[in-house]
Amino acid sequence: MRNLKLIGFIIFIGIYSCSKDDVNTGLTLNGVYTESAPFLGTHQLNFVDNNTLVLKGRNSTDEEFIYELGDNTIKLTPTRDLNQTWDLEINVINDSRFEITNIFYASTPEDDDAVKFVSFEK
């Protein structure tokens, strides 16, 4: 009887863990988002499809990335150099607004007011 309970428990854990793996957070970003803070309109991020992102700076050429969204993270890989990647924190507020770790503005360790996140809105 004890073995039967153990087998039942193992089956329950197996089913539960498989169903948790299959859960999709549904996190998607589509379309063009424009920087809203700290500087309005300086950058645009165009989420072209489920894995292509195009970054457009005000005074620069377009840069294309392959992206993967995870739980509060976005992994960016430039298509010009697939050996380089960045894992960044992203806070999706809703489907039209998010904040991403600052990779756009340089700062120094002495900077008391360094930009930590950059906000984007549709």
Asked, for residue 106, whether it belongs to a domain, the answer is yes
Is 92 a domain residue? yes
pLDDT at 11: 46
Q: Whole domain around residue 53: which residue ranges?
A: 27-121
The answer as to whether 17 is a domain residue is no
Domain count, the chain: 1
Beta bridge partners of 37: 119
Contact 65, 76 (CB under 8 A): yes
Per-residue pLDDT of the chain (122 residues; tens, 9 = 90+): 544 433 434 444 444 444 444 444 566 899 999 999 999 999 999 999 999 999 999 888 899 999 999 999 999 999 999 999 999 999 999 989 999 999 888 877 777 777 899 999 99
State the number of CA atoms in the 13 A half-sphere of 34 facing the CB. Answer: 6
CATH number at residue 48: 2.40.128
User: For position 79, what pLDDT does the model report?
Assistant: 96
Q: What is the pLDDT of residue 114?
A: 79
User: Is 64 part of any domain?
Assistant: yes
Classify residue 65: in a domain, yes or no: yes
Instruction: Give the CA dihedral 87, 89, 94, 95, nearest 10 degrees.
Output: -20
